[in-house]
C-alpha cells in the first residue's frame, strides 16, 4: 500500500457523540480510510472531546464535513460499492466481498440510519451479528469491525493474487 493511499471510505450519518467520531477518525487514520461526517451533528467539530478521542491523529485524517445526506449523496461516484449497516438488516456483512474504495455507512448512535436510506438500499443493507441481548454495538466498535474485515479481505486477496 502506498503512503496516503485511501483504502476505504466511512460515512457517519448525523453522529451524536463526539468521542465516537474522534475514535472512528483515529481508526480511519490507522486503516488509511477517508471519513465523511454528515450533518446535522449532535456536537460541534471543534468539540474538545472529539479531538481528545482522536488524540494527535486528527491532523492526519482525510475527512470532509457535509451539511446533510443530500450533499453527501451528490458527491458519491461509486454508488454500487456503498454498504449500509443496520441492526434491522437481514443479510450479514459476511456475505459480501469488499474491495478497495468501498464506502461503509453508519447511522447515528440513538436511531441508526434513516428509514429512507435503508429502504432505498435494501440490497446493500448489512448486519453485524449480535448473539447476546443487545440492540446494537457502539458506533466506533461497529466501524472498527467492518474496516478490519474489509482490510483483511483486500489484503488477503492482494497477497494471494501474486
pLDDT class for 58, splitting at 50, 70, 90? confident
CB atoms within 10 A of CB 90: 9
Walk me through the domains of the chain, giving residue ranges and CATH numbers: 8-160 (3.40.1280.10)
Residues linked to residue 84 through DSSP beta bridges, in sequence order: 105, 125
In degrees rounded to 5, what are phi and psi of residue 103?
-115, 135
pLDDT in tens, 81-120: 999 999 999 999 998 999 999 999 999 999 999 999 999 9
Res. 141: pLDDT tops 50: yes
pLDDT in tens, 8-47: 999 999 999 988 998 999 999 999 999 999 999 887 777 5
Within 8 A by CB and 6+ apart from 94, the residues are none
Rounded Cα gap, residues 132 and 129, in angstroms:
9
Q: Where are the alpha helices (DSSP H) in the chain?
A: 18-30, 48-54, 69-74, 115-120, 139-160
Q: CB–CB of 5/31 below 8 Å?
A: no
pTM of the entire structure?
0.91
Res. 60: pLDDT tops 70: yes
Q: Which three cell numbers stand for residue 61?
A: 485524517
DSSP E strands: which ranges in the chain? 8-13, 33-38, 63-66, 82-85, 91-92, 103-106, 125-127
The distance between the two most distant Cα atoms of the chain, rounded to a whole number of Å, is 46
Q: CB–CB of 24/138 below 8 Å?
A: no
For residue 83, the model assigns a pLDDT of 98
DSSP state of 7: -
In this structure, what is the dihedral angle of CA atoms 23, 24, 28, 31, given to the nearest 10 degrees? 80
Angle at 149 between CA 141 and CA 43, to 5 degrees: 30
Amino acid at each position: 500500500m502506498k503512503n496516503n493511499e485511501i483504502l476505504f471510505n466511512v460515512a457517519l450519518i448525523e453522529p451524536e457523540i463526539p468521542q465516537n467520531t474522534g475514535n472512528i477518525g483515529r481508526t480511519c487514520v490507522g486503516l488509511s480510510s477517508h471519513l465523511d461526517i454528515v450533518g446535522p451533528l449532535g456536537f460541534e467539530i471543534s468539540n474538545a472531546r472529539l479531538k481528545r478521542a482522536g488524540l494527535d491523529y486528527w491532523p492526519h485524517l482525510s475527512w470532509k464535513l457535509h451539511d446533510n445526506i443530500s450533499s453527501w449523496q451528490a458527491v458519491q461516484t461509486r454508488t454500487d460499492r456503498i454498504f449500509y449497516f443496520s441492526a434491522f438488516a437481514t443479510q450479514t456483512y459476511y456475505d459480501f466481498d469488499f474491495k478497495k474504495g468501498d464506502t461503509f455507512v453508519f447511522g447515528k448512535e440513538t436511531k441508526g440510519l434513516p428509514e429512507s436510506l435503508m429502504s432505498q438500499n435494501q440490497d446493500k443493507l448489512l448486519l453485524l451479528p449480535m448473539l447476546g441481548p443487545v440492540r446494537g454495538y457502539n458506533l466506533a466498535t461497529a466501524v472498527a469491525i467492518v474496516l478490519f474485515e474489509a482490510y483483511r479481505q483486500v489484503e488477503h486477496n492482494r497477497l494471494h493474487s501474486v
